[in-house]
Amino acid sequence: MAETSLTLRRNSLRWRIMLWILVVTAVALASVILLTRATLVSQVREDSNSDVAQELEEFRQFATTEPYDTADGLIREYMQRQIPDDEELFVGRTDHGLVQHDFASIDSRFRAPLPANDPLIFEIFHSEQNSGVFLHPEQGRSHWGRIDVVLPSGDGAEFAVINFAAEDLAEAEAQVRWLSLFALVGLLTAGLIAWLIAGQIIAPIRKLKSVARSISDSDLTRRVPVESENEIGQLARTFNAMLDRIETAYRNQRQFIDDAGHELRTPITVVRGQLELLEDSTDEQRRRSVELSTAELDRMSRMVNDMLTLAVADSGNFITKEPVDVAELAIDVEDKASTISDRAQLLEVAEGTVDLDEQRVTEAVLELFGNALRYSEDVVEIGTDFRGSGPERTFRVWVRDRGMGIPADQVDSVFSRFSRGEQHGTSRPGGAGLGLSIVQAIAHAHGGRAFVDSTVGLGSVFGMELPAPEPTEVEVKEQQ
């Protein structure tokens, strides 16, 4: 249980946001600390070198101002007149040995003279270089510079300046430590702020999670409250829109299943009843029962095929478009309709090429033609035409009957599944109520629409209106 809780915490979005903010902040603070330390240390070293170079230059100028008989006298005179800084030390070497002035005896702030056997003294006066850096075992990092003195009299000596940088470096390190402490406090503060900000960011997501958990098969009405117009608000709107679509699809599915069960129950009952009568029936009655049962089974078969077609339409990948000559399409539709009934009449033919699924459009027109035959005793007219121009042009294919028409209050529902409406005063049986739904699905798959224009007592016009934009001049040239 503890391991599961730890895993959930590790995978928590709030923890991940906080940790990433801490990582970025820590990297930034570490970079600042390292850069600051490098700058301070570099500044200390540069100042030490600069101080050594400055003192040597002052000694060189002093040596040229007044004549001295001995180099020892020159160095001693300079040391008496020039007071070194707290971190500096003047050392001379003449034929008489080391020359140093004990300023520490006057003020403890000054450096005490170095003994002759000090490793730093050996490094300065035995090095082939005139300057360098020496890590003193007691004094720490020391920068030094040396100059040779040769008087006109031929007397010579060496004068050196030592700058001890250990204290300045220690002060720089202390500043870095304080800066690191402040950075740690800042990092903890950033972690607290990140935790609070992350909580505010994921609060709507938690609401989303709560709503998703509360949704069940029987209740799809819950929605996520939209409290902002930012990305989280847009996510909530998108989620609510998805729930709207799911609720609509679920409601339609339940209605479809209920209607399908109701429609299939009737032929099953009829077939079952006819089969139960066969044992005590006469030959004529048996023949009649077989005919009725066969007719009901055929109706069930058509209904199942229609439902499968609609299922394919709902799943997408329903049509395959390709350029089709609509004049040839109209002629082919008339030929196929004529095999169904001799009351088919092609009234109007459009000419041109349109991208569409020829088989699906033919299926839809024949479905409209069969629907018209059930509700009309007269000739059923078929036609095609174009409406509009340019990119807004549409291709229409329609079927007109001379039946009793559809009442105005039923026009909006004729394309609904399992909707058959009134029988228009005829004695012909209606279908399962799926044919017009298939027509509408085919039209929608093409990006168009199914339409009906009906007047009670005069008849109805059913059809599809499909996008058929005219090609541009560039497209025409490319085709040529």
Q: Does the pLDDT of residue 330 top 90, yes or no?
A: yes
- CATH code where residue 370 lies: 3.30.565.10
Name the strands in the sheet holding 380-387, side by side, starting at the edge strand that comes first in the sequence.
Answer: 344-348, 380-387, 394-401, 459-467, 449-455
Phi-psi region of 80 (alpha: psi -120 to 50; beta: other; left: phi over 0): alpha
User: Per 3-state DSSP, what percentage of the chain is helix, strand, and coil (rounded to 5)?
Assistant: 55, 15, 25
> Does 448 share its domain with 341?
yes
- Alpha-carbon distance of 347 to 334, in angstroms, equals 10
Cα→Cα distances 205→7, 210, 239, 254, Å: 19, 9, 11, 30
Q: Are residues 276 and 411 in the same domain?
A: no
What does the CA dihedral 181, 185, 191, 197 come to, rounded to 10 degrees? -140
Q: Is residue 10 part of a domain?
A: no
260 and 356 belong to one structural domain: no
Instruction: Give residue 174's pLDDT.
Output: 93
For 130-159, b where at least 16 C-beta lie within 10 A, e where not — what string?
Answer: ebeebebeebebbbbbbbebebeeebebbb
Chain segment 38-49, per-residue pLDDT in tens:
999 999 999 999
Confidence of residue 355 (pLDDT cuts 50, 70, 90): very high
Q: Say whether pLDDT at 304 is over 80.
A: no
DSSP one-letter string for 297-324 = HHHHHHHHHHHHHHHHHHTS-----EEE
For residues 473 and 463, the answer to whether their CB atoms sit within 8 Å is no
Q: Taking the mean position of all CA atoms in its chain, how far away is CA 413?
A: 41
Q: What is the DSSP letter of 429?
A: P
Q: Is residue 190 part of a domain?
A: no
**H-helix or E-strand containing 288?**
helix 283-314
Q: How many domains does the structure of the chain reveal?
A: 3
Domain final residue pick, 143, 172, 201: 172
| Half-sphere exposure in the Cβ direction for 169 (13 Å, CA) | 16
Question: Which pairing describes strands 380-387 and 394-401: parallel, antiparallel, or unpaired?
Answer: antiparallel
Identify whether residues 372 and 273 lie together within a single domain.
no
Is the pLDDT score of 131 beyond 60? Answer: yes
How does pLDDT run across 39-76, given as a tens digit for each residue?
999 999 999 999 999 999 998 888 888 778 888 888 88
pLDDT tens for 150-161 read 888 778 889 999
CA distance 4 to 106: 74
Could you tell me if residue 188 is inside a domain?
Answer: no
- For residues 360 and 457, membership in a common domain is answered with yes
Q: Do 327 and 266 share a structural domain?
A: no
CB 211 within 8 A of CB 222: yes
Query: Residue 8 domain-assigned?
Result: no
**Tell me, what's the pLDDT at 8?**
42
Least confident of 107-111, 159-163, 269-273, 307-311: 307-311
- Please tell me whether residues 251 and 149 are part of one structural domain: no
Choose the final residue of a domain: 172, 195, 222: 172
- Residue 5 above 60 pLDDT? no
User: Quick one: 263 and 352 in the same domain?
Assistant: no
CB atoms within 10 A of CB 431: 18
461 shares a domain with 362: yes
My answer on whether 391 and 461 are in the same domain is yes
Please say which residue of 154, 172, 190 terminates a domain.
172
Mean pLDDT for all residues in the chain: 83
Residue 466 within a domain: yes
- Domain carrying residue 258: 247-311
Q: Which of 291-295, 386-390, 391-395 has the lowest mean pLDDT?
A: 291-295
Q: Does residue 238 form part of some domain? A: no
d(CA 437, CA 419): 9
pLDDT > 70 in the chain, percent: 89
Spell out the residues 6+ positions from residue 346 whose beta carbon is closer than 8 angstroms to its own. 330, 331, 333, 334, 381, 382, 383
Whether pLDDT at 445 is above 70: yes
Q: Output 103 or 427, whichever has higher pLDDT.
A: 103
The reported pLDDT for the residue numbered 223 is 78
- In a shared domain, residues 285 and 330: no
CATH of the domain at 296: 1.10.287.130
CATH number of 56's domain: 3.30.450.160
- Angstrom distance (rounded) from CA 157 to CA 155: 7
261 and 402 both lie in a single domain: no
In this prediction the pTM is 0.50
pLDDT at 175: 92
- If one compares 437 and 231, the residue with the highest pLDDT of the two is 437
Dump pLDDT digits (tens) for 196-243: 888 887 777 787 777 777 777 667 777 777 777 777 778 778 888 888
| Model confidence at 4: pLDDT above 60 | no
Highest mean pLDDT range out of 280-284, 341-345, 410-414, 469-473? 341-345
Q: Which range is least confidently modeled, 10-14, 212-216, 472-476?
A: 472-476
The yes-or-no verdict on residue 107 having pLDDT over 80 is: no
Higher pLDDT, 398 or 476: 398
Q: What was the pLDDT predicted at 39?
A: 93
Contact 441, 318 (CB under 8 A): yes
pLDDT at 471: 78
